[in-house]
């Protein structure tokens, strides 16, 4: 961990990174499902 960085800013960056890592695959999955349903 970066001890010299502001804790609040570091926490915000980590939370944003974790949220993106979790939401991106979910959004891609929903898009793929929508495309498959539309093609059917």
How confident is the model over 21-40, as a mean pLDDT?
87
Tokens 């609040």, residue located: 8
Whether 2 is in a domain gets the answer no
Q: What is the DSSP letter of 9?
A: H
- Domain of residue 24 covers 9-39
**How many domains, the chain?**
1
Whether 22 is in a domain gets the answer yes
In Å, what is the CA distance from 22 to each residue of 15, 27, 40? Answer: 11, 9, 28
Tell which wins on pLDDT, 17 or 2: 17
In Å, what is the CA distance from 40 to each residue of 14, 31, 33, 36? Answer: 40, 14, 11, 6
Whether 1 is in a domain gets the answer no
Q: Is the pTM of this model over 0.95?
A: no
Whether 4 is in a domain gets the answer no
């Amino acid at each position: 961990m970066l001890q010299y960085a502001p804790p609040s800013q570091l926490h915000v960056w980590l939370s944003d990174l974790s949220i993106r890592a979790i939401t991106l695959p979910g959004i891609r999955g929903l898009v793929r499902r929508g495309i498959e349903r539309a093609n059917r």
